[in-house]
Amino acid sequence: MIKKVINIFGANGVGKSVITILLANVMAENKGKVLIIDYQQNIYKIFNKKVQKKVIKIENIYLINKFYKTEIDKYNIIIFDNPQINFLKTKDLLNNSTNIFLSECNLLGIKKLKELIRKNTKDIKEENINIIFNKYNYNSIDKEILYSIFKSINILGKIDYSNKIEVFLNMEKIIKINSIKKDLLKIMKNLLKENKKYGYKLTK
């Protein structure tokens, strides 16, 4: 039986597909059976895979395109990578799942994030909106300021940027990056809380 459906949204270039893969991998390592539904075929491209009419397995995660069907009851976590709001609304998934918005940690990233949330909040219950700050580095806006700006929204955490993540692209294996994995484990812990309070506020 499926225990959680996760939708990952964000502006172009924010890192949705890469974070989808890394988060799915961490969950799978922690005994989750994870299916990624690759809505725009970006993950297939990352792994140099052709879209097939069946589920394919890459290490310990499973992947399928939106056009094809599978027995979803076999998975306890399903992640939609960059789906369309209208599709989720039609399928009654939008308010029965966890919606994650990715943002870069600069002024432009915040502006794009605010616009995405503004456009979609009319279709999503506030308690189902969550944020992950991606690509956090020494040039980023201070963490306390970031968290303060979005203090009314559940914040799952931040992911420190590593140049090593670029090596991930066009590989047919999942690169293990310890510094990022530590952040992902914190996010996973918040994400899988049973009490539906997915976010944690600023921790110093």
The confidence score (pLDDT) of residue 167 equals 56
Question: How far is residue 173's CA from residue 137's CA, in Å, rounded to a whole number?
Answer: 25
Question: How far is residue 150's CA from residue 110's CA, in Å, rounded to a whole number?
Answer: 10
The confidence score (pLDDT) of residue 173 equals 66
Give the containing element (helix H, strand E) for 87.
helix 85-90
The confidence score (pLDDT) of residue 187 equals 92
Domains and CATH numbers, the chain: 4-191 (3.40.50.300)
What average pLDDT does the structure give for the chain?
83
Residues 6+ apart with CB under 8 A from 146: 105, 110, 133, 140, 158
* pTM for the full predicted model: 0.86
pLDDT tens digit string along 58-92?
989 999 998 888 888 899 999 999 888 887 877 77
pLDDT tens digit string along 145-174?
999 998 888 899 999 876 666 555 555 567
Residues 6+ apart with CB under 8 A from 31: none
pLDDT tens digit string along 6-19?
999 998 889 899 89
